[in-house]
Chain A
Amino acid sequence: MIGDLARLPRQGSEMTVSQIKAKVLRREELTKGIVRLTLEAPEIAVCAQPGQFMMFRATDKLDPLLRRPLSIHQVSSGSQVQVLLKVVGRGSRFLAERERGDVLDVVGPLGHGFSAPTAPDSSVCLVGGGIGCAPLYFLAKMLLREDPGRLVQVFLGAATADELLVVKKDFENLGGRVALATDDGSLGYHGYVTDLLAANLERERRWQVYGCGPHPMLGKLAEFCAAEKWSCQVSLETMMACGISACLGCTVRRAQTKGEIDKPFLHVCKDGPVFDSGEVAWGREGR
């Protein structure tokens, strides 16, 4: 739904969706319950954009039935795709337990990813909550590839220090400035990442903000950016069945603007998962 803004440069060919068998090339357990998988997926790697996602079969049986959406963490070597996943249930546990050589059934790349900054000379602020840091890494990589001199300020929040140590280093290696917040105070600021951001972001700069994380965090971020009049794009997560806009199950409420009362919903898989933060009706029940 951010279609009229400039697209980020593509890796290669025009966007196409493929269903492929992707071999696991590497499995890294970053901390307990957080796993990074590197997959051989040339069809996806060649056309993936930051913010897009893939749908994974999370069993070879009939239960759990539905595919699991995972955002693209990074694309490398022209043929490899990485995902970063946290074990939250049966599906993610199955995926996190895959070993090198295993083959996964993947559909992707899907959805509407992040768009380039509205104002080309903006500094970039990335805000990740928990496993929401996953797609921001791919975005940071592409933005810095496009303009190595660009300021990329990264704010990452998580429950505890363990979840942040590896990704912090990754973002720093790209050339980003990283600030951390933890719920338990075990690393960085003790509290919400959005509070850390509000206290530290230099107001005199023009910022393009990108966020991914829990819905309440994104709601706060949207409110903050609206007040500061900074453009903000957020990547949303919902329950999904198909990922290709056939089931129409992944709805969120749309912010109501005049004359469009007949369009009360957005579909995360097709209209998103990345939205301009002003498009989403925040703080409503049943997202």
Chain B
Amino acid sequence: MGQGREVNLTTHIGGGLILRNPVMTASGTFGYGREYAELVNLHRLGAIVVKGISLQPRSGNPPPRIFETAAGMLNAIGLENVGVEGFLREKLPFLREVGAPVVVNILGNSLDDYAALAEILNDIDGITAIEVNISCPNVKEGGVAFGTDPLMVQAVTKTVKGKTALPVIIKLSPNVTDITVTARAAEEGGADAVSLINTLIGMAIDHRTRKPRLANVIGGLSGPAIKPVALRMVWQTARAVKIPVIGIGGIMTAEDALEFLIAGAAAVQIGTANFVNPNSTEMILDGIAAYLQESGCQSLREIIGTLRLD
């Protein structure tokens, strides 16, 4: 990084977990890491958050699953994944060799599912933290019920925390009236951090055929289109809870990431940007470091939560 001293980019994201830098990947946009191995220096990432894992493999929703919208995209993948056994057998060995912390995103249909997943992952080497998906909008039988009901958020958090010693990040749904309510519920349940936002529920219609663009009819909106909403929710949440907040939502550039950090995020996750520009994570990381250096900061911490309201 340029001339002179290195900026200290380390950041605390709860549960005693310190990342070497604040740039993580967002679940569902980075596969299981390997997909990007030829395009990204994976070892440089703050953490890799893998595609959400369920107890059993899931084949996902029928096509079409994605649709491009103005400065964004809708998806209804339906949580297609290899299942926890497949993940441990086929995906984790590669990730262990990468040299970046691995955060496993988990999803379930019941408290028992979440408990079982947390218990299994607790005993596995090479996993740094668990991120709990309580907010995926694309499956009919679960997810949303957990993500929008504060009592359920608290219960899921407590359940997972009770089964693992790993740091637990709760990924919050933006599809609620007041996200600080579910954020506080996660905190009260013992969460080490919250990450937000997951996708905003949306839809698109082909006016000629009068059919929905997605087979699932509705799907999750992501990309730069949602960034202002995400930023607002991160700012509100960072003021409402004491645990670290991880900012997600439409981050395409280092400047976008800096906005989230200033709003109070201890780290950021890069999602849809990975599709648009596979090396987004590294570019954003370099941009953050360069900005800090240029502004005379010695560490990342000097800008986190420094929004000026004067």
Contact = CB atoms under 8 A, between A and B. Distances in A.
Contacts of B44: none
Interface in A39-92: 57, 62-67
Given A63-B70, A65-B72, A247 B77 contact: yes
Which residue, of B59, B63, B75, has the highest number of chain A Cβ atoms within 10 A?
Answer: B63
A31 interface: no
Interface string B68-94: 101111010100100000000000000
Nearest to B39: A19
A251 B38 contact: no
Nearest to B81: A248
20 contacts: A18-B38, A19-B39, A19-B277, A57-B277, A62-B252, A65-B71, A65-B72, A105-B277, A239-B67, A241-B275, A242-B35, A242-B274, A242-B275, A246-B29, A247-B77, A249-B66, A250-B66, A251-B63, A263-B59, A287-B63
Given A245-B35, A286-B63, 15 more contacts: A65-B72, A65-B223, A66-B68, A107-B39, A107-B278, A238-B63, A241-B66, A241-B272, A244-B31, A244-B278, A246-B30, A247-B75, A251-B60, A251-B63, A264-B59
A240 B66 CA distance: 8
A244 B36 contact: yes
B276 interface: yes
A250 B64 CA distance: 8
A16 interface: yes
Given A239-B66, A249-B66, A253-B62, A16 B38 contact: yes
Interface of B: 28-31, 35-36, 38-39, 51, 57, 59-60, 62-68, 70-73, 75, 77, 80, 215, 223-224, 252, 272, 274-279
B224 A249 contact: no
Interface of A: 16-19, 57, 62-67, 105, 107, 238-242, 244-253, 262-265, 286-287
A57 B276 contact: yes
For chain B, what secondary structure do more than half of its interface residues adopt (helix, strand, loop), or is it mixed? loop
Given A248-B65, A248-B77, A251-B60, A65 B36 contact: no
Nearest to B62: A286
B193 to A, nearest CB: 24
A252 B62 CA distance: 8
Contact of A265 (B57, B59, B278): B59
B77 A249 contact: yes
B11 to A, nearest CB: 25
A65 B68 contact: yes
A37 B7 CA distance: 44
Nearest to B75: A249
A286 B215 contact: yes
A239 B59 contact: no
Contacts of B29: 242, 246-247
B36 A246 contact: yes
A142 B244 CA distance: 56
A267 B73 CA distance: 18
Contacts of B276: 57, 65-67
A253 B62 CA distance: 8
B278 A64 contact: no
Contacts of A238: 63-64
Nearest to A270: B35
Nearest to B67: A239
B293 to A, nearest CB: 26
A67 B70 CA distance: 14
Contacts of A67: 275-276
Nearest to A251: B63
Contact of B38 (A17, A247, A250): A17
Contacts of A64: 68
List of 5 A-B pairs having minimum Cβ-Cβ separation, nearest first:
A249-B66, A246-B31, A242-B275, A251-B63, A63-B71
Contacts of B28: 247
Contacts of A17: 38-39
A43 to B, nearest CB: 11
B59 A262 contact: yes
A17 B278 CA distance: 11
Contacts of B77: 247-249
